[in-house]
Structure 1
Amino acid sequence: MRRPSVTVVVGTVLLGVPALIALAGPLLAGPVRSRARPMQPPDAAFPLGTDVLGRDVLALALSGGASIVGLTGAALLMSYSIGVPLALLLAERRAGGILLRALDFLLALPGLLVLMVLAAAGWRGAVALALVIALLQLPAVVRIVRSAALAPGCRAAVEAMTMQGEPWWRIHLGYVGRCVLGPVLVDAGTRLSLVLYLLASANFLGLGLAPSASDWAVLVERNKEALFLQPPAVLVPACLLVSLCTGVNLLLDHALARGNEA
C-alpha cells in the first residue's frame, strides 16, 4: 500500500484543522460577549486572553470560522459556476467582443474601491457581500478559462472531434472541460487568498458582517492594534486563515501533479 506523501499529510492537517474548527467550533465555544477587561493576557480563565472588546479569544476563534468559510465558498462557487460555462461559450463562438470588453472594464476596477463605494451607498449584509465579491472575480475567471480553452493543442483536438461528428456536449463539456480543469484548480487555490483579503477589507468597512462579529477576518482587522499588547487576539485567527489557504493549495498542487503523472 502506497504511503501518503509529506505534501498530502501536511496539506490535510493544515486544511483539516481550520475546517474542523469552522464546523465543530461553534458547538464548543463559550459565550463571545465581553466578559473581562480588554486585551487581558492569557490566564487560567482565558487561555488565549481577551480581545480589544474584552471577549474570550478562544471562544472567538472557535466560533468565527463558519462565516468566513461559508462566505468564501459561496463567492468562489458563484464566480466559477458562472465564469466557467461563460468562458467555454466564448471560446467556442470566438465571439462575444462586447461582453469581453465589459468584463475588461470590470477587471480594471480596484476591488477595494468598489467595496468602499458600496459601503458608502449603504449596501450591507453577507448575501450582498458574497455577490459583489463573486462579480469582482468573474472577469479574471472568464479570461483564464477562455485562454485555457483556446490553447492550440485543445483547439486542434476540438476541430478533429468536430470533423468526426462528435456531439457538442462530448466535445465542450467533456474534452474541453477536462482541459481547463487544471488551470481552474490552480486559479481557485490562489484566488482563495484574494477572496479572503476582500472579505476582511469589506467587513472592516462595514459592508458585510458587523465589526463586533466573531468572524476570523473581522478579528484580525478589529484587533490589529493589539498585536504587540495581546498577540493571540490577532495571531490565532490570522494563523487559521493562513493554514486554510496553505492547506488548500498544497492539496490542489498534489492532485494536479498526480493527474499529470497519470
Structure 2
Amino acid sequence: MAPGRFVLGAVLVCVPLVLALCGPWFAGAPGPRAASFTLGDGHLLGTDFVGRDVGRQVLLGGRPVVVVAVTATALAYLVALPVGLIGALTHRRWLEDALMRPLDVLLAVPSLLMILLVATVFSPGPAGLALLVALVNVPDAARIVRAAAADVAARPAVEALRMQGESWWRVAVGHVGRSILRPLAADAGVRLTGVLYLVATAAFLGIGVAPDAADWAVMVDRNRTGLFVQPWAVVVPALLIVALTMGCNLLCDAALTRTRVPVHADVRGVGTRMEERRP
C-alpha cells in the first residue's frame, strides 16, 4: 500500500466526514441574522444569502450530502452484486438476458435526466433521492460486476469447485466474489465520486432538499450570486465536497496497490482439496 497516497486520502476524507457526522453537535443554536453576504461582525466565515452564519451552515450541511451519497452507493451495490453474479455464473442464457437487458435500457437514459423526470412527478425527500440515485447507478454497477465475475467464472478453479459439488453460494460469494474485490474497490471509489456529484447536482437543482436547507450543495447554489462579495459561503462547501471525492479515490487507489495473491495458488488449493476428497 502506498503510504503517502493513503495518508493524503485519509486526511482529505476525514475532514469532511468529521464535519458531516459531528458538525451538527457543535453547531449550537442559531444566532440573530445579519446582513446578507457580509464578512466579520462575529461571523468567522461571514454570512450567507439570507444573513445566516456560514460556519454554522457548514457544520450542519455535510450530513445530508454524505448520508444520501453513501446510502445510495450501498443500495446500488446491494442490487448490482447479486444481479451481476447471477448473470456471470448462470448457464441459462434466458436468465442472463432477463436480468441484463432491462438494465441496458435504463443505462441508455442519462442519470440526471431520469432524476429530473421523476422529480416532475413527485418531490422526493432525502430517502427518495437516495433510492433514485441508487436506481440510476444499478445498471452500470451490475454490468461491471458481471464483467469482472465472468472473467473469474471462466477459470479452472471455478469449474473444479462445481465438479466437487460446492454450493452456488460458496462458488459465487466465497470464490468469485472474493476474487473481484479489487475491481469492485476501484469502481466503488469512482462510483461514490459520481454519486456525490449527482446528489450535489440534484440538491443544487432543488431536488430532495428545501431551497434554504443547510446543505453544502444548496449553499453553493444559493450563495453563488455573492461569490465575489463573500466567497467563503461558496468556496468552503465546494472544497469539502471535492476533498471527500478526491480522498475516496486516493484511498481506493492506495488499497489497490497491495500485492495480489497469484491465481495459480488458488487453483492448486482447489486441486489439493479435490485430491483429499477422493476415496
Contact 2:152 2:176 (C-alpha < 8 Å) held by counterparts: no
Change in 2 beyond 3 A, CA 1:218/1:154: farther
1:261 & 1:228 partners in 2: Cα distance? 53
Q: Whose radius of gyration is greater, 1 or 2?
A: 2
Change in 2 beyond 3 A, CA 1:125/1:152: closer
1:149 & 1:261 partners in 2: Cα distance? 17
SS at match of 2:33: coil
1:20 maps to 18
1:84 maps to 81
1:125 maps to 125
What is the deviation of 1:204?
2.9
Q: Which segment drifts farther, 198-207 or 231-240? A: 198-207
For 1:10, the aligned partner's letter is: L
1:182 & 1:35 partners in 2: Cα distance? 50
1:180 and 2:180 aligned: yes
1:36 maps to 34
Which of 57, 61, 85 does residue 54 from structure 2 map onto? 57
What is the deviation of 1:34?
6.9
Pairs aligned (count):
259
2:56 & 2:190 partners in 1: Cα distance? 29
1:244 & 1:261 partners in 2: Cα distance? 30
2:267 maps to none
For 1:219, the aligned partner's letter is: M
What is the deviation of 1:61?
0.7
Contact 2:186 2:252 (C-alpha < 8 Å) held by counterparts: yes
What is the deviation of 1:126?
1.0
What is the deviation of 1:228?
2.0
For 1:89, the aligned partner's letter is: I
What is the deviation of 1:40?
0.8
Unpaired runs of 5+ residues, structure 1, are none
For 2:238, the aligned partner's letter is: A
- Tell me the C-alpha RMSD between the 2 structures: 2.1
What is the deviation of 1:252?
1.4
Change in 2 beyond 3 A, CA 1:153/1:248: same
Contact 1:119 1:206 (C-alpha < 8 Å) held by counterparts: no
1:246 maps to 246
- TM-score, scaled relative to structure 1: 0.92
Q: Which segment drifts farther, 170-179 or 153-162? A: 153-162
1:147 maps to 147
SS at match of 1:49: coil
Contact 1:22 1:62 (C-alpha < 8 Å) held by counterparts: yes
2:68 maps to 71
1:97 and 2:94 aligned: no
Contact 1:116 1:205 (C-alpha < 8 Å) held by counterparts: no
Contact 2:89 2:153 (C-alpha < 8 Å) held by counterparts: no
Change in 2 beyond 3 A, CA 1:204/1:100: same
Change in 2 beyond 3 A, CA 1:219/1:105: same
What is the deviation of 1:261?
7.5
What is the deviation of 1:31?
4.1
1:35 & 1:261 partners in 2: Cα distance? 59
1:166 and 2:163 aligned: no
1:28 & 1:47 partners in 2: Cα distance? 15
Unpaired runs of 5+ residues, structure 2, are 263-279
Contact 2:87 2:99 (C-alpha < 8 Å) held by counterparts: no
For 1:40, the aligned partner's letter is: T
Contact 2:20 2:61 (C-alpha < 8 Å) held by counterparts: yes
1:232 and 2:232 aligned: yes
